[in-house]
Amino acid sequence: MTSLRSMDSVTKVNFLKAYGDHVPVIYPEVVLCVEVYNIKKINQVKAQEMLVLGCQFLTELRDKIYCVTDQVMKKAGQYDPSGYFLIENVSCNDLRDSKAIDYSEPILDWFRNSKDEAIAKWESIVARELQKKQKLSLGSTISSQLPSFSAVEMSKTHFFDLRLRIWGGYLYCHQRNCKHLVVIRDMRLIHPNDAQNRRVYPIVTFQLKERFKKCSVCKIYRAEKVTLDDKWTKKNPCYFYKNCYYLLHYANEEQGCIDRKLEFSSFSSDICR
Ligand SMILES: [Zn+2]
Ligand SMILES: [Zn+2]
């Protein structure tokens, strides 16, 4: 666990400067260790780990979740402020922005209006899970009764308002269909060695380092080319996404290089990984 104590004094000062005044934590307080995973095709990759307080709103966690999809959608002018956590049977919707959509509404409507269909669907999911569990010889612990789902507003819901399970896997969905697994890995009382300033939470204790270089121009897309001693940029080496590279170095992308490339004395290469 990272606490302010483990930071050097310079980092500590910068950290506190960035978060402004000290707001003392009120005892007794609960600290939750939350993991956020990126869902890949075959596996899940832990992207972040954070310490969040029981008294905090779920939106405070959402605002600390870093996902590149947010940046891409912003750049494309299609940023969607909507998002939700599905925790146990509760959909926690972020409706702070007037343009945000309540994603849970059509689902809850479906439960109300097509109850038989919903029950049949639920039973088939339960049967599938039971089969899996029987294969693992863990016995049957899943109820076949359709759970009652409800919706709350993320910005009005504290962590302590919810029923949470340690190692329970919950869903975070944003930008329409970008999904992440959220796991409550640990829950404990706050300790004097923890940061005592309410404002510094959620504290990011782990952040996945990107394995690939990003384009130095747009800072969004993965770099595909690199240049050395490039007269068109101050960065050396400089990494480029294909389009950004052509925009900078080619007068006309269709015809290939005409003007600039003749003057382009530097070295460029595709990134081989
Ligand atoms: Zn995402
Ligand atoms: Zn770029």
Nearest to 89 by CA among 170, 187, 182, 166: 170
Question: 255 CA to middle of ligand 1, Å?
Answer: 37
Which ligand neighbours the alpha carbon of 177 most closely? 1
The share of the chain scoring above pLDDT 90, in percent, equals 42
State the CATH architecture for 4-97+147-207. Roll (3.10)
Burial 27-48 (b: 16+ CB within 10 A, else e): eebebbbbbbbbeeeeeeeebb
Residue 109 has pLDDT above 50, yes or no: yes
> Which has the minimum average pLDDT: 7-16, 55-64, 241-250?
7-16
Share of the chain above pLDDT 70, in %: 80
User: Does residue 103 surpass a pLDDT of 80?
Assistant: yes
Give the domain ranges of the chain.
4-97+147-207, 225-270
pLDDT, tens digit, 9 for 90 and up, residues 251-264? 765 544 444 443 34
For residue range 130-144, what is the model confidence (pLDDT) as tens digits?
A: 887 776 665 555 556
Q: Which of 1-10, 68-77, 177-186 has the highest mean pLDDT?
A: 177-186
What's the 101 CA to ligand 1 centre distance in angstroms?
Answer: 17
Cα–Cα distances (Å) from 89 to 5, 11, 108, 166, in that order, read 38, 40, 11, 15
Distance 265 CA to ligand 2 centre (A): 21
Mean pLDDT of 90-94: 96
Tell me what pLDDT residue 14 has: 59
Q: What is the dihedral of CA 94, 100, 101, 104, to 10 degrees?
A: 0
Ion ligand 1, residue ranges at CB < 5 A: 67, 69, 178
Point out which residues pair with 46 in neighbouring strands: 37
Tell me, what's the pLDDT at 139?
A: 55
d(CA 89, CA 149): 5
Residue pLDDT, tens place only, 216-261: 899 888 888 888 778 888 887 788 998 999 888 887 655 444 444 4
